[in-house]
Structure 1
């Protein structure tokens, strides 16, 4: 059983060593935050750039239409993904992120608060505000927990890199760009023509 929800607090003490999902639930902050290994990562308080949102909604719609009628479901941010290790209790979960887009094919991982478990596919759409530290920690998080496919889309340059999990380690694709047709190993049959996809995104 999950712990009872404690009193709401304004925001965490950034100097503190480690927080859990139980702490995360108590925060009332203007910024979106994520937890990686118990450390707090703040996202920008301002809304994402327009081009980021264009890409996100268009890709999520394509995935939704492709997956309709299957067990797999697509979600876009804000949507909490919790990565449990040894326990599913809130106070024991120290990794909580909000990917731009994720696909979950096991309905047992879904609850009213988001996803409790590892998504099959995660997409992050990069903007100039994304830090290298954030990217490094997310790469390590997704690889260590076994996210089978991790897409990184560069919003400004209209290209894409795919990391596919093989024997517990990520193997990168070459940089995919206009003229390439992307295929997903995790979602057989799903294809994305990058020239067509980015044609109206400016």
Structure 2
């Protein structure tokens, strides 16, 4: 059967594209790809840098420990998050991303293929594979679908920006860096001392 696989992977130039989650399931690209508004985004062609992986692994470890025994669950990439708009049928879903880390507190959103619907918390860790366009599209995607908290971590600068959803719009924190203790509004009681966190990662 012929699949709807593009010959190349390019960043989107228009607002909406032609591809769906049904197409996405048939592709076998060497690089990791995501769909945003039906357009293909490729993530870094090479494996993420060591620092990126250290930040991801350490934060995932801390979140997993904090959430042990609770209903919220944490997942790290590769893990598909689908954002349906109306129908949950594969061919009608045009937004599929792989956040570095996400926390889902509604078990009804989890299935064998990942998460369908908005996670409660998403963490993206910046690397050379992140384009400004990708971040702009993801910001709009997460905001419009109701992701309650969105973290952007810059490992090399050792800082963190948090967007919190208030009345359907993201409100940014100030830039958080060494000396700050981060408190999540979504995961009540979870804190992150950035000086201590990044000290262990170097």
Instruction: Report the TM-score, using the length of structure 2 for normalisation.
Output: 0.93
Whole-Å separation in 2 of the counterparts to 1:13 and 1:129: 17
Q: Which residue number corresponds to residue 127 of structure 1?
A: 127
3-state secondary structure, aligned to 1:160: strand
Show structure 1 runs of 5+ residues with no match: 1-5
Give, in angstroms, the shift of residue 12 of structure 1. 5.2
Give, in angstroms, the shift of residue 129 of structure 1. 2.9
Show structure 2 runs of 5+ residues with no match: none
3-state secondary structure, aligned to 1:177: coil
Give, in angstroms, the shift of residue 128 of structure 1. 2.8
Whole-Å separation in 1 of the counterparts to 2:7 and 2:83: 20
Give, in angstroms, the shift of residue 93 of structure 1. 0.3
Q: Which residue number corresponds to residue 3 of structure 1?
A: none
Matches for 1:108-119 after TM superposition, within 5 Å: 108-119=108-119
Would you say the 8 A contact 1:11–1:28 is kept in 2? no
Matches for 1:75-94 after TM superposition, within 5 Å: 75-94=75-94
Whole-Å separation in 2 of the counterparts to 1:172 and 1:101: 19
Q: Which residue number corresponds to residue 153 of structure 2?
A: 153
Whole-Å separation in 2 of the counterparts to 1:139 and 1:7: 34
Q: Does 1:27 align with 2:27?
A: yes
Q: Which stretches of structure 1, 4 residues or more, deviate above 6 A after TM superposition?
A: none
Instruction: Report the TM-score, using the length of structure 1 for normalisation.
Output: 0.93
Would you say the 8 A contact 1:76–1:99 is kept in 2? yes
Q: Which residue number corresponds to residue 73 of structure 1?
A: 73
Would you say the 8 A contact 1:179–1:195 is kept in 2? yes
Aligned CA RMSD, in angstroms, stands at 1.6
Q: Does 1:61 align with 2:65?
A: no
Whole-Å separation in 2 of the counterparts to 1:79 and 1:57: 14
Go from structure 1 to structure 2 and tell me whether the alpha carbon gap of 1:26 and 1:7 turns closer, same or farther (over 3 Å shift). farther
Give, in angstroms, the shift of residue 147 of structure 1. 0.2
Go from structure 1 to structure 2 and tell me whether the alpha carbon gap of 1:19 and 1:101 turns closer, same or farther (over 3 Å shift). same
Give, in angstroms, the shift of residue 200 of structure 1. 2.3
Whole-Å separation in 1 of the counterparts to 2:167 and 2:5: 42
Whole-Å separation in 1 of the counterparts to 2:133 and 2:194: 28
Would you say the 8 A contact 1:161–1:176 is kept in 2? yes
